[in-house]
Structure 1
Amino acid sequence: MPQQLIVVTGASTGIGASAARELAGRGFHVLAGVRRDRDADAIRSDGVEPVILDITEPGQVQALAARVAGDPRALHALVNNAGIQVNAPVEALPMAQWRRVFEVNLFGHIAVTQALLPALLRSKGRVINISSIGGRIAMPTYGAYAGAKFALEAVSDALRREVAPLGVQVVVIEPGGVRTEMAGRGIATANQLAAQMTPEQDERYGGLVHAINTLMATGTASGVTADAAARIIAKAVTNRRPRTRYTIGRDAALLIGLARVLSDRTLDRVSAANLRRHYPKGATA
């Protein structure tokens, strides 16, 4: 087959960078979205062409669409991977942060998808949306992040049913713990936001934030590598008839399986028991 294009957003580090390299190694020409010139220099390699792309900037999204439209190669897949992790209790997270999370983790993906759908319809390509286990189960302090991922899953379902008759496939990827820089940045952001809580909010949620951060660090350290995650993404990109959803990591498969069979109250108790051992000594769980 002639070489085809793939767009991967959020390719500076982590899963996005690994996916770009994995797909280039399989013979695709990858347009790897990055936000800074130094990230472009780091990702540039044989088969990987960096493009400056902030998915919340309409001008950069349109420039990407023009780059794809001007290439004689068909666009085989769009991998919507860009994202940020911002964790805080619902009460304590400022509205500006809520809007930022949804702008990056949901609206930006929709904007890129809208811009590239004409090319994907011509090629009968596919859209790969990188969601999260948080798109199926919302842990405490994950209200904004999980809310955007839940919404991304719903948008993916709607889009799949809209474009399947037109020959375009839509796949959702749901990673659990993956050893990337994103988790570390998420913990740092959570600590910054916790420092801005009022004394009353800190009394209510301080122990919870500590427990969640400890659990996140533990889960990330025991998670799969970004390269292993990239191989799952490559499977979704290249399989002739991909599944509508793929999980990444045993933790994601286990928790999503439990969510299917346990009641909400039972799942609440399981979550609370899992968190309790991570609370600081003397704190109330």
Structure 2
Amino acid sequence: MTTSHEIRDCVVVTGASTGIGAASARELARRGFHVLAGVRRDQDADALRAPGIEPVILDITQPGHITELAARVDSQAGALRALVNNAAIQINAPLEILPLSEWRRQFEVNLFGHVAVTQALLPALLRHSGRVVNISSVGGRVAMPTYGPYAGTKFALEAISDSLRRELAPLGVRVVVVEPGSVRTEMADRVIVATNQAAAVMSPEQRDRYGSLIQAINAHSAAHTPGGTPADAAARVIAKAVTTRKPRTRYTIGRDAALITRLTRVLPDRMLDRILVASLRPHYPKATTA
């Protein structure tokens, strides 16, 4: 906790247990902010707690947790300078096989939870001309096969961010989108596990249709993650989005994200389809390669 003679401005970071969120909490604390870092479990809080970092138990799908967070922000001596909406889950699965309950769960966490937190903290952000930083994804610009559920949430987050930016600009609150590509975090392994769990309940006919595709998607992810951007480097981009005086509306993280976002602006859909198919081809099981 800060003392009365050491009042720090505050930043809220959701999804700070691991990966980009944890790295961002540490980077923002290093830059002099008091970070309210949302985590799901007590052990995550214990691992993250450090000078300038105050972990708070936060499930952004739980209204009670959000109410408690807003009350904590209002009790903070320093101004709320930014909300970093980072929490996310991901399951890659063909549209046909993923139950609607899992679609809804991804949208609850990756979209509606962020809306709820933003609604609760906007009064404080408006009082202090703060900033909303929404962590999207390169998947908010292009949807690989099986990425429909996750990319759907990120495309929606991008649209909401655009609308919110235009609503709040006259009121002094900036809205920034950050679009990471491949980042070296624990999330990639969790995604593969979740994807395999979803695939395990496929019917034989569905396995014939999608089994090789799912293996290729998992292999593609496993191959690209080790060469991805380190979480600490991603955190520096997010900190820039929080602190720079005149931020851009969007920042990418990683060369892959920068390249893909450029391609989506200039290439027709069919050409982009062919590029994505070619990127997956080396990762299909050998026995099914034509």
Q: Which runs of 5+ in 2 are unaligned?
A: 1-5
Equivalent residue for 1:7? 12
Letter in 2 for 1:255: I
> Does the 8 Å CA contact 2:178/2:252 hold for their aligned counterparts?
yes
> Does the 8 Å CA contact 1:208/1:279 hold for their aligned counterparts?
yes
Equivalent residue for 2:198? 193
Distance 1:219 1:129 in 2: 24
Q: Does 1:167 align with 2:137?
A: no
> Does the 8 Å CA contact 1:207/1:284 hold for their aligned counterparts?
no
Equivalent residue for 2:237? 232
1:229-248 deviation digits (Å, cap 9, x = unpaired)? 00000000010000000000
SS of residue in 2 equivalent to 1:172: strand
* Alignment counterpart, residue 100 of structure 2, candidates 95, 102, 105: 95
Number of aligned positions between the proteins? 285
Q: How does 1:1-285 map to 2 (within 5 A)?
A: 3-283=8-288
TM-score normalized by the length of structure 1: 0.98
Letter in 1 for 2:281: R
Letter in 2 for 1:165: P
Distance 1:236 1:159 in 2: 16
Identity %: 70
CA positional deviation for 1:282: 2.0
Distance 1:133 1:236 in 2: 17
Letter in 1 for 2:227: S
CA positional deviation for 1:284: 5.7
1:151-203 deviation digits (Å, cap 9, x = unpaired)? 00000000000000000000000000000000110011111111111111110
TM-score normalized by the length of structure 2: 0.97
CA positional deviation for 1:221: 1.1
1:209-239 deviation digits (Å, cap 9, x = unpaired)? 0001111111211101000000000000010
Distance 2:54 2:35 in 1: 6
Distance 1:160 1:7 in 2: 18
CA positional deviation for 1:252: 0.3
Equivalent residue for 2:3? none
Distance 2:17 2:244 in 1: 25
CA positional deviation for 1:2: 5.5
Q: Which runs of 5+ in 1 are unaligned?
A: none
Distance 1:245 1:226 in 2: 18
Moved over 4 A (4+): none
Distance 1:199 1:21 in 2: 47
